[in-house]
Amino acid sequence: MNTYWCELAWLGGEQVEAGVLLEIVDDRIAGVVPGTPGPVPGAETLNGLTIPGLVNAHSHAFQRALRGRTQGGAGSFWSWRERMYELAATLDPDSYHRLARAVFGEMALAGITHVGEFHYLHQAPGGKPYADPNEMGKALIEAAAEAGLRLSLIDACYLAGGIGKPLEGAQLRFGDRDAAAWVERVAELPENRALRILGAIHSVRAVPPDQMGTVAEWVRHQGRELHVHLSEQPAENQACREAYGKTPTEILAANGVLHDNLVAVHGTHLELSDLALLAGAGARVCLCPTTERDLADGIGRAAAMREAGIELALGSDSNAFVDLFEEARAVELDERLASGARGAHRAAELLGAATAGGALALCWPGAGSLAVAKLADLAVLDLDSVRLAGTRTEDLLDAVVFAAAPADVRHVMMGGRWIVRDGAHVSLDVAGELAGAILR
């Protein structure tokens, strides 16, 4: 057993607790004792604020290579997508592995212990399968293990280039023959203690309605979550109405997809009737505010989602920015811009979306909180940084959510094992690996 005395810790309430003793056995928390005077003999002292490891519920690791390369000139999501396709066409299993390992290392430095990697880059150029049809997915699995992160590989079914359109160009790398072939391929991916295999319908644009049920049924049978990009763009809603006379959410409902294991990603342009359908099914929504902002997608109805009873998770998506604190506060701050009012979301709710909410969306119910029997995944924040120095204990949760940054992360533990110490990854030169992978 390893014992740690936390100067301050967030145990899930509206305030932080002082003097919390954590006992860890193997990869689990065996004891949590708040109000313990310290330092405690035999226990390592963790100065600062200890929080559960952050959970990044939606990532496309390879898109990190676009950072800084798509900001010039006018454009939209659709013009950005063409640049993304150009990048996707260049990757092979080795380069994908190197890039993803570096990106996952960057996430670890930002306090993230779990990532949901939304994976659709399956095939070789031209759509030809690799000898091992899951070679690209296995590159991601190895990359996460080497970076020390827990991984939910969200393998996406991607069959069409748009509603009624065939795959073309770089999209050919994304496709399986049909949903049954997707099931056959994904069923060959084994899980382990740090890996879950989840499924995805990439979007209503990319999977015809008559194929959705096959994907949804298999994922539900596995007891896993099903993710889907949903109503990210007004053009998606318009095309869906023109083709089917329904919203994308209504299409999911009509084809057996809308269940309590569904995680809708983005949901930027959901209608109120769509929110009612999602809430009635017990579905979740994963918001990715920095990407939605970067791509000019719009501002999602986060307050309306909460009022409908929809639980939220957060993701870094395109990884133009890897900062779950920013994702959390952006939910509130972006909504302030849209509504002209403050205070729709409390700090504890936002940090909960970045921890326990993401853990549930990624099928890790044993993660996301500092509690007995939960996974020993945590991050320790430096309270002497220029962003947090001088904060009163009673204001600390608000200060962390609305001002903290990855630079404030001192230590990170995943499964009882340190992966970041004193602000540095224990095994990776993350900046060097990022530069090497991206510039190559």
Q: What CA–CA distance (Å, rounded) separates 95 from 432?
A: 15
pTM of the predicted model as reported, rounded to 2 decimal places: 0.97
Torsion angle (degrees, nearest 10) of CA 82, 88, 89, 93: 180
Domain ranges of the chain: 2-53+368-427, 54-361
Taking only the tens place, the pLDDT of each residue in 3-22 is 999 999 999 999 999 999 99
Which one is predicted more confidently, 77 or 232? 232
> 229: which strand partners?
265
Calculate the alpha carbon distances from 3 to 11, 65, 413 in Å.
17, 40, 13
Taking only the tens place, the pLDDT of each residue in 103-127 is 999 999 999 999 999 999 999 999 9
| The predicted structure's pLDDT at residue 97 | 98
**Active-site annotation holds for 429:** no
Mean residue pLDDT across the chain: 96
Question: Which helix or strand (DSSP H or E) is residue 28 part of?
Answer: strand 28-33
Q: Which of 97, 266, 269, 411 is catalytic?
A: 266
| The predicted structure's pLDDT at residue 34 | 97
Fold of 54-361: TIM Barrel (3.20.20)
Q: Which of 274, 294, 317, 334 is catalytic?
A: 317
Please give the average per-residue pLDDT across 237-244, as a whole number.
Answer: 96
pLDDT of residue 440 exceeding 80: no
Q: What CA–CA distance (Å, rounded) separates 395 from 338?
A: 26
Question: Please, are residues 10 and 51 in contact by the beta-carbon 8 Å criterion?
Answer: yes
Q: Is the dihedral angle over the CA atoms 232, 278, 314, 201 positive or is it negative?
A: negative
Q: What percent of the chain has pLDDT over 70?
A: 100
Residue identified by tokens 């499964």 is 415
**Active-site annotation holds for 259:** no
The mean-pLDDT minimum among 47-61, 73-87, 139-153, 154-168 falls in: 73-87
| The predicted structure's pLDDT at residue 78 | 82
- Phi then psi for 17, rounded to 5 degrees? -110, 145
Please give the average per-residue pLDDT across 376-393, as a whole number.
Answer: 97
Residue 26: closest CA among 413, 428, 423: 413
What CATH code would you report for 2-53+368-427?
Answer: 2.30.40.10
Taking only the tens place, the pLDDT of each residue in 267-302 is 999 999 999 999 999 999 999 999 999 999 999 999
Q: What percent of the chain has pLDDT over 90?
A: 95
Alpha-helix residue ranges (DSSP H) falling in 148-295: 179-186, 209-221, 234-244, 248-254, 272-281, 289-294
